[in-house]
Amino acid sequence: MDPITIGLIIAGLLSAGAIIALLTWDQVDSFVTSHAVNQGTAKLIQKRLESGEFVVVAGVSGSNGTKLKERTWQAKAIDAELGRRFGGRDEITIKT
């Protein structure tokens, strides 16, 4: 993992707050969609902790790569659709 990704995960762990039971794709997609900009991107990172819980960080960036908004969730589980979107990867980038 590159240093930026590791930094995002650490920042996410520090700001995650409450642990939710189940994080769904709809929750993540709603955040990304509400902060999307023309020709921007959203980087989604997931990390499974030793406890079995998940930390998911979503960062929305503008067309020039500047991060505009970030959100972190800590959850006991992720739904099947969110797991499918990650497809066994720790991070994905989507166009907004």
| Residue 36: domain span | 3-95
Question: What's the token pair of residue 82?
Answer: 């969110």
DSSP 63: T
Domains in the chain, number = 1
Question: What's the token pair of residue 87?
Answer: 């497809």
pTM for the full model?
Answer: 0.81
pLDDT per residue as tens digits for the range 25-68: 999 999 999 999 999 999 999 999 999 999 999 999 999 999 99
What backbone phi and psi angles, to 5 degrees, belong to 35? -115, 10
